[in-house]
């Protein structure tokens, strides 16, 4: 029996990258995992299949964030999936991972891009947490994926970093609000992590990125997923409202 046996979890944006690695690890520890995706249905179903092949339990839920009714769509699918498999719609672990990046110089950030970044990266997590309050069991876990870019600069991601700064405030304030229920709320900040993007197929680029880490290497999704799994476990019961640096030492300077 894993540390998360009989627990239920929702991981947003878990069809690939850090979200996928997190879903796999939580399922390995025994949790029933709702694998959320917006457009990558095939990848999400692949994640579910991999979990089930390893003896775990999972199901896919779809919702595109940043559009009207996004949170309602997510929770209708989540509650239906949980009730079908457990008989109740109780959630133990919520991981807010889904996000998009900007990738343009500050002068090229349009109001439309700015609004979309905040809608998906900050507004959706806030209202997902709000909606989850009625489902979360006492002693539950909320883990928000932030970014090392809230601590070191990349001008092409200024607006993205602003959204992740907002996400960190969710942890700070909701940790205080939910403490009486034993629910912990924390932020995990990855650094440069190989998410399967084409740039990670370029050896020279990978070498340059690796030098930013104290370990001299680029992070793997599982490096972050393992940190999330720790925070989701009872071992982390005394950690809340915290910012966890999972950048591989990038913030050391």
Domain that holds residue 177: 8-252
Token pair recorded at residue 36? 């959320």
Domains: count for the chain: 1
Residue 101 falls within a domain, yes or no?
Answer: yes
Confidence (pTM): 0.95
**DSSP for residue 243:** E
1 within domain boundaries = no
For residue 197, what pLDDT is reported? 82
Burial class (CB in 10 A: 0-12, 13-18, 19+), 222: middle
Q: Is residue 147 part of a domain?
A: yes
Q: Looking at the domain assignment, is residue 58 inside a domain?
A: yes
Question: Is 3 inside a domain boundary?
Answer: no
Q: Is residue 18 assigned to a domain?
A: yes
Whether 2 maps to a domain, the answer reads no
Q: Has 160 been annotated as catalytic?
A: yes
Question: What residues are paired with 34 via a beta bridge?
Answer: 10, 59
- 117: CATH: 3.40.50.720
Q: What is the pLDDT of residue 253?
A: 67
What is the structure's pLDDT at 7? 98
The pLDDT, as a whole number, for residue 198 is 87
Residues of the chain with pLDDT under 70: 253
Catalytic residue chosen out of the listed positions 37, 75, 160, 174? 160
In-domain check, residue 192 = yes
Q: Quote the pLDDT of residue 90.
A: 98
């Amino acid at each position: 029996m894993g540390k998360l046996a009989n627990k239920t979890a929702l991981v947003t944006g878990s069809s690939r990258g850090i979200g996928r690695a997190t879903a796999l690890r939580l399922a390995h520890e025994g949790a029933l995992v709702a694998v959320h995706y917006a457009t990558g249905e095939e990848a999400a179903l692949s994640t579910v299949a991999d979990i089930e092949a390893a003896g775990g339990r999972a199901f896919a839920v779809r919702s595109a964030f940043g559009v009207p009714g996004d949170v309602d769509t997510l929770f209708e699918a989540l509650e239906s999936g949980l009730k079908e498999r457990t008989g109740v719609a109780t959630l133990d672990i919520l991981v807010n991972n889904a996000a998009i990046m900007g990738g343009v110089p500050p002068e090229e950030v349009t109001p439309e891009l700015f609004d979309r970044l905040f809608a998906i990266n900050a507004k959706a997590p806030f209202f997902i947490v709000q909606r989850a309050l009625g489902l979360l069991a006492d002693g539950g876990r909320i883990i928000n994926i932030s970014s090392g870019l809230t601590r070191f600069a990349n001008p092409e991601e200024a607006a993205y970093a602003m959204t992740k700064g907002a996400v960190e405030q969710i942890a700070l304030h909701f940790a205080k609000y939910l403490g009486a229920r034993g629910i912990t709320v924390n932020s995990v900040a990855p650094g440069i992590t190989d998410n399967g993007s084409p740039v990670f197929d370029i050896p020279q680029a990978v070498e340059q990125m690796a030098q930013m880490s104290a370990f001299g290497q680029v992070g793997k999704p599982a490096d972050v997923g393992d940190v999330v799994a720790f925070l989701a476990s009872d071992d982390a019961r005394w950690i809340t409202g915290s910012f966890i640096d999972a950048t591989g030492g990038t913030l050391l300077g």
